[in-house]
């Protein structure tokens, strides 16, 4: 599937509108989005094949050395002079707020013209094939064990086309990502759900994984029906890569989003250059840091993708910024300006966030634990960048006794406490590495964007409840 | 939409359709401290079309998006693709809601004001509370929405409703020397009440200064815990999902009609799903299918007694008159007074990272960002602790306050007392 023909046809319209608005503003950018998604799903009783989340529209950003102004709309065809007048009028404020505008440096508009493409294989697979696959895998899961009440299987490819135009810049990007997975609801006296979801740059990879590990998934569900609540306490823990990613995300992902620096909402602003984690710890974020769900070529401010090292050998070295926050802080934006969709504001957001791998063997890490838990699978988390508290919920944990994993499962497991205490307690890091590209991240309780996170296994000490 | 109707009516390969169009106008202000950082204005429409095809004794459906940029040929192609996809889908048949024209506006006074003026008035109301020594509002986001939802289907439904609502996100902060703490708060309303906004933010300014002074208790506690509306609403949301037609149809529900959730001595839960709760932005006169909404009691005196949900899943379960997808929850008032709460030591939870309610694992818990701990003699702010309890024990012993309020989609007691909770 090529770059959006619609957006391609709108290049001149964008340039014309930029020219009109440039009569009123020093900096004008237009981001056009055309995102298509499909969702195939099957379970015991139902199936569906339809459009998934999508969007098609424009957001115009303007700046004159004070506040930023934005206007979101579905189309910009027609009389550009009239549209420009409408936009200028719409973004005016009550006169009493006029004097309260921020004062900032001008926005730089470095010339660049480039078209970025990462090909997908989505066109190779028909609706019929993908839906049949979901139905077949669901059927197989249901037939494996009568205690499987339901088995849901999904495949969700999506393709992104974005066009970014300023007076000096003309960028386009086209790429795709696919998610897929399965979930069973199991009843063995007690009900439990077990999931196995993943993401990949091609449908071939998702398809290859979809009907693998079916027995393992049912076995997990069986164990979860026997899971007990954990006795609250402080334990040695080993994390799987998804929990490692959740810690990275909640602890120092949100904590270094630099729009929070501007608002004095992040303690990290005062800790750059200081030890915030164990000296064996390294952490990155960036659309260019790895290939996963958040690997775009330029962000929603037209800034090229970066690979930002956030923590280097335990020391906090850098944060993540969008255009507005970098302009106010007097720094270079890091390519982390992201929008939920064209209707929403761009904020500083994470992309692909992960701890770097270490040198330890996972089996040695488990063997080093006298009594503790290995934690698996992200459920949810919540950030607190100002006060450096953290809450991460794992789907389940397995008790470790005398250096060995037992058959004792606990669920759910809520890990909480102080971010620096947790990160400074990291004593071993495995030589394995996996990034999970099937997540979403909100800012507070809104502004959802697709993110990945992950890394190696970590050994740390923290409070579980 | 007219043209879309025509194209759908003209297409012969389908048995029905539904169009859901949502037109949103918004005006948004973003403040950094007291300075205006960003001004946004939006005028956007989202249109979803679902095509239904009866085939081989079953029913298929498929939904697609329509964008303003699309040509007539683009839309024709989308219809054709959706009809083909629907043929691949073999679901149990059901009838779309029929007939009924409606055009309503949810109660509001927000439309009396120009959005620019209203934005400034809201900002003034928030910053009026910024008068606590050491306190500040480090960020404020104001979203003023006018949302018009229009549902049309092939069986004559043609319903339109307008919701005017405001969401504000204010970040009260307290700083002393080099140390600083904050609380995250959002407020939602459909009527402008300047004094109420200022009073709510003032309360948060006081609480954030208490968070600065808050300490972790010296020992693990087993104590009564009081939850506030935000967390009570989450608990009610989990209980209501368990009684949803779709959860029942998908075998994902845990409880069934007649199950007693509260066998102990406690204030009994009376939970009703509602279409409209005055003051709630989630209020609606019809659901996404354009179906009429019927308020439905799902838990009475602690016993599961009903279910709720969309026309589709209601019909799948054989419900004669499905409730429609109800967006609001009302929990009946209890008997608890503040005097009773104070008879024993308790922790009054002001702010959590996010309450975790897990019916399958019989669990309720989460990290507490700020609470007040009354030890029987004095009250001190506490932080850095987590609570966890067995959900069934909590339900069987809980107490609910007499006093009620509205919070998002919830109306009900402002306090819920859980007995003997582990706090570490």
Contacts of B25 (CB under 8 A, 6+ apart): B42, B43, B115, B145, B146
A265 Cβ under 8 Å from any chain B Cβ? yes
How many Å apart are CA B69 and CA A75, to the nearest integer? 6
Residue-level pLDDT at A268 = 87
Same domain, A246 and A394: yes
Same domain, A323 and A456: yes
Nearest to B424 among A49, A191, A232 (CB): A232
Residue-level pLDDT at A239 = 97
Give residue-wise pLDDT tens across range B316-336.
999 999 999 999 999 999 999
A29 is a domain residue: yes
Q: Where do runs of H (alpha helix) occur along B282-412? A: 311-316, 338-341, 391-397
Give residue-wise pLDDT tens across range A302-350.
999 999 999 999 999 999 999 999 999 999 999 999 999 999 999 999 9
C-beta separation of A187 from A210 below 8 A: no
Q: What domain count does chain A have?
A: 2
How many Å apart are CA A334 and CA A305, to the nearest integer? 7
Average pLDDT over residues B399-411: 96
C-beta separation of B348 from A404 below 8 A: no
A45 Cβ under 8 Å from any chain B Cβ? yes
Contacts of A162 (CB under 8 A, 6+ apart): A7, A31, A32, A33, A34, A172, A173, A296, A298, A300
Contact flag B252-A101 (C-beta cutoff 8 Å): no
Contact flag A414-B365 (C-beta cutoff 8 Å): yes
Please count the CA atoms within 13 angstroms of the CA of A298 that sit on its side-chain side. 26
Contact flag B366-A411 (C-beta cutoff 8 Å): no
Nearest to A73 among B35, B44, B384 (CB): B44
Query: Which residue of chain B has the CA closest to A419?
Result: B384
Contacts of B47 (CB under 8 A, 6+ apart): B1, B4, B19, B20, B21, B22, B65, B66, B67
Contact flag A69-B39 (C-beta cutoff 8 Å): yes
Contact flag A127-B369 (C-beta cutoff 8 Å): no
Residue-level pLDDT at B275 = 97
A82 Cβ under 8 Å from any chain B Cβ? no
**Mode of pairing for the β-strands spanning A27-42 and A47-51:** antiparallel
- Of A117, A143, A170, the last residue of a domain is A117
Nearest to A102 among B24, B35, B388 (CB): B35
> By percentage, how much of chain A surpasses pLDDT 90?
88
Please count the CA atoms within 13 angstroms of the CA of B71 that sit on its side-chain side. 4
**Is the per-residue pLDDT at B344 higher than 80?**
yes
A77 is a domain residue: yes
Give residue-wise pLDDT tens across range A183-207.
999 999 999 999 999 999 999 999 9
Q: Which residues in chain A touch residue B169, judged by CB atoms under 8 angstroms apart?
A: 444
A82 is a domain residue: yes
Residue-level pLDDT at A384 = 80
CA distance B245 to chain A (A): 14
Same domain, A108 and A256: no
Residue-level pLDDT at B2 = 65
CA distance A380 to chain B (A): 9
Residue-level pLDDT at B178 = 75
Residue-level pLDDT at A391 = 84
Task: Identify the band that residue B384 occupies on the pLDDT scale cut at 50, 70 and 90.
Answer: confident
- Of A117, A136, A167, the last residue of a domain is A117
Same domain, A111 and A240: no
- Of A82, A117, A152, the last residue of a domain is A117
Contact flag A328-B32 (C-beta cutoff 8 Å): yes
0.80 exceeded by pTM = yes
Query: Which residue of chain A has the CA closest to B362?
Result: A229
- Give the number of A-B residue pairs with CB atoms closer than 8 Å: 228
Q: Where do runs of H (alpha helix) occur along A291-418? A: 323-329, 362-367
DSSP letters along B131-195, please? -STTEEEEEEEEEEEEEEEEEEETTS-EEEEEEEEEEEEEEEEEEETTEEEE--EEEEESS--HH
CA distances from A373 to A370, A398, A404 (A): 10, 5, 10
Contacts of B267 (CB under 8 A, 6+ apart): B334, B335, B336, B398, B399, B400
Residue-level pLDDT at A205 = 96
Structural domain span for residue A392: 233-464
B361 Cβ under 8 Å from any chain A Cβ? yes
Interface of B with A in 266-305 (CB under 8 A): none
Of chain B, the end-to-end C-alpha distance in Å amounts to 57
Contact flag A6-B69 (C-beta cutoff 8 Å): yes
Q: What is the ipTM of this complex?
A: 0.95
DSSP letters along A181-206, please? EEEEEEESSSEEEEEEEEEESSHHHH
A367 is a domain residue: yes
A158 is a domain residue: no
How many Å apart are CA B271 and CA B257, to the nearest integer? 14
C-beta separation of A311 from A422 below 8 A: no
Nearest to A67 among B26, B38, B251 (CB): B38
**Rg, chain B, Cα only:** 24
A219 is a domain residue: no
Contact flag B356-A412 (C-beta cutoff 8 Å): yes
Contact flag A74-B67 (C-beta cutoff 8 Å): yes
A100 Cβ under 8 Å from any chain B Cβ? yes
Give residue-wise pLDDT tens across range B73-125.
999 999 999 999 999 999 999 999 998 899 999 999 999 999 999 999 999 99
**Is the per-residue pLDDT at B22 higher than 90?**
yes
Contact flag B36-A102 (C-beta cutoff 8 Å): yes
C-beta separation of B98 from A85 below 8 A: no
Q: Which residues in chain A touch residue B367, judged by CB atoms under 8 angstroms apart?
A: 382, 389-391, 414, 416
Closest CA to B175 of B213, B127, B216: B213
Contact flag B44-A72 (C-beta cutoff 8 Å): yes
A213 is a domain residue: no
Could you give the domains of chain B? 2-211 (3.30.2290.10), 216-424 (no CATH)
Q: B266-279 b/e with 16+ CB inside 10 Å = b? A: bbbbbbbbbbbbeb
Interface of B with A in 50-109 (CB under 8 A): 61-65, 67-69, 82, 84-85, 88-92
Q: Which residues of chain A have pLDDT under 70?
A: none
A92 Cβ under 8 Å from any chain B Cβ? yes
Q: B307-331 b/e with 16+ CB inside 10 Å = b? A: bbbbbbbbbbeebeebbbbbbbbbb
Q: Which residues in chain A touch residue B139, judged by CB atoms under 8 angstroms apart?
A: 263, 265
Q: What are phi and psi of B4, to 5 degrees?
A: -65, -45
Residue-level pLDDT at A397 = 97
Give residue-wise pLDDT tens across range B189-244.
999 999 999 999 999 999 999 999 999 998 889 999 999 999 999 999 999 999 99
C-beta separation of B62 from B51 below 8 A: yes
Interface of A with B in 385-414 (CB under 8 A): 386-387, 389-391, 393, 411-412, 414
Average pLDDT over residues B270-291: 96
Q: Which residues in chain B touch residue A384, judged by CB atoms under 8 angstroms apart?
A: 353, 369
CA distance B138 to chain A (A): 6
C-beta separation of B388 from B421 below 8 A: yes
A261 is a domain residue: yes
């Amino acid at each position: 599937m090529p770059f959006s023909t619609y957006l391609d046809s709108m290049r001149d319209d964008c340039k014309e509108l930029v020219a009109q608005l440039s009569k009123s503003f020093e900096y004008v950018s237009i981001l056009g989005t055309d995102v298509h998604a499909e969702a195939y799903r099957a379970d015991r009783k139902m199936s569906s094949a339809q459009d998934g989340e999508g969007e098609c529209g424009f957001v115009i950003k303007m700046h004159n050395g004070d506040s930023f102004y934005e206007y979101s709309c579905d189309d910009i065809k027609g009389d550009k002079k009239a549209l420009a007048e409408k936009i200028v009028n719409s973004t005016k404020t009550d006169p009493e707020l006029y004097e309260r505008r921020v004062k900032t440096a001008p926005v730089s508009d470095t010339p660049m013209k480039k078209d970025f493409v990462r090909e997908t294989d989505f066109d190779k697979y028909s609706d019929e094939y993908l839906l049949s696959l979901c139905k077949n895998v669901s059927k197989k899961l249901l037939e494996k064990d009568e205690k499987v009440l339901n088995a849901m299987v999904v495949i969700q490819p999506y393709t992104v086309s974005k066009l970014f135009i300023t007076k000096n810049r003309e960028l386009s990007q086209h790429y795709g990502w696919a998610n897929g997975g399965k979930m069973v609801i199991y009843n063995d006296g007690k009900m439990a759900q077990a999931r196995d979801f993943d993401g990949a740059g091609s449908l071939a990879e998702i398809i290859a994984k979809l009907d693998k590990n079916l027995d393992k998934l049912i076995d997990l569900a069986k164990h979860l029906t026997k899971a007990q609540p954990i006795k609250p306490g402080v334990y040695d823990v080993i994390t799987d890569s998804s929990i490692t990613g959740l810690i990275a995300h909640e602890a120092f992902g949100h904590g270094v989003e630099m729009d929070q620096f501007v608002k004095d909402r992040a303690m990290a602003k005062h800790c750059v250059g200081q030890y915030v984690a164990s000296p064996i710890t390294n952490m990155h974020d960036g659309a260019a840091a790895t290939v996963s769900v958040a690997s775009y070529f330029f962000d929603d401010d037209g800034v090229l993708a970066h690979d930002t090292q956030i923590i280097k050998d335990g020391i906090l070295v850098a944060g993540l910024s969008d255009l507005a926050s970098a302009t106010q802080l007097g720094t270079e934006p890091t390519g982390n300006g992201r929008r939920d969709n064209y209707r929403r504001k761009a904020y500083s957001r994470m992309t692909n966030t992960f701890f770097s791998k270490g040198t330890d063997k996972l089996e040695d890490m488990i063997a080093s634990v006298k009594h503790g838990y290995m934690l698996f699978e992200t459920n949810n988390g919540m950030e607190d960048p100002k006060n450096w508290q953290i809450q991460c919920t794992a789907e389940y944990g397995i008790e470790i006794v005398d250096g060995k994993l037992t058959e004792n499962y606990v669920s759910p497991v809520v890990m909480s406490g102080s971010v620096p205490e947790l990160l400074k307690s990291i004593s071993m890091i495995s030589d394995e590495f996996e990034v999970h590209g099937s997540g979403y991240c909100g800012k507070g309780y809104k502004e959802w964007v697709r993110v990945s996170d992950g890394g190696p296994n970590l050994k740390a000490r923290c409070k579980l409840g | 939409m007219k043209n879309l109707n025509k194209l759908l009516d003209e297409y012969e390969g389908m048995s029905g359709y539904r169009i859901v169009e949502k037109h949103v106008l918004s005006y948004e202000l973003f403040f950094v401290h007291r300075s205006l950082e960003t001004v946004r204005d939006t005028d956007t429409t989202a249109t979803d079309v679902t095509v239904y095809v009866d085939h081989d004794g079953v029913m298929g459906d498929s939904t697609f998006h329509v964008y303003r940029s699309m040509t007539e040929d683009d839309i024709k192609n989308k219809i054709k693709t959706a009809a083909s996809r629907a043929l691949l889908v073999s679901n149990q048949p059901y009838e779309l809601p029929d007939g009924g024209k409606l055009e309503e506006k949810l109660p509001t006074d927000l439309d009396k004001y120009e959005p620019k003026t209203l934005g400034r008035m809201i900002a003034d109301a928030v910053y009026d509370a910024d008068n606590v020594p050491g306190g500040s509002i480090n960020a404020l986001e104001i979203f003023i929405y006018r949302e018009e939802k229009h549902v049309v289907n092939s069986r004559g439904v043609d319903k339109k409703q307008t919701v005017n609502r405001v969401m504000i996100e204010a970040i009260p902060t307290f700083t002393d020397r080099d140390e600083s703490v904050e609380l995250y708060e959002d407020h939602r309303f459909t009527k402008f009440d300047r004094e109420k906004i200022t009073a709510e933010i003032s309360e948060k300014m006081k609480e954030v200064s208490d968070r600065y002074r808050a300490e972790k208790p010296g020992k693990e506690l087993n104590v009564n815990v009081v939850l506030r509306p935000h967390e009570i609403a989450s608990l009610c949301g989990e209980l209501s999902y368990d009684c949803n037609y779709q959860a029942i149809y998908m075998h994902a529900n845990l409880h069934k009609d007649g199950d007693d959730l509260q066998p102990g001595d406690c204030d009994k839960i009376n939970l009703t799903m509602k279409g409209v709760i005055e003051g709630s932005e989630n209020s609606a006169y019809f659901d996404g299918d354009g179906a009429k909404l019927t308020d439905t009691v799902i838990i009475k005196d602690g016993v599961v007694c009903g279910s709720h949900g969309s026309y589709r899943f209601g019909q799948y379960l054989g419900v004669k008159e499905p409730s429609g997808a109800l967006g609001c929850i009302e929990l009946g008032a209890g008997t608890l007074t503040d005097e009773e709460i104070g008879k024993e030591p308790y922790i009054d939870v002001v702010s959590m990272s996010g309450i975790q309610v897990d019916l399958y694992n019989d669990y309720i818990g989460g990290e507490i960002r700020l609470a007040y701990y009354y030890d029987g003699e004095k009250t001190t702010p506490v932080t850095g602790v987590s609570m966890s309890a067995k959900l069934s024990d909590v339900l069987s012993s809980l107490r609910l306050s007499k006093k009620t309020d509205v919070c998002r989609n919830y109306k009900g007691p402002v306090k819920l007392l859980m007995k003997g909770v582990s706090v570490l």
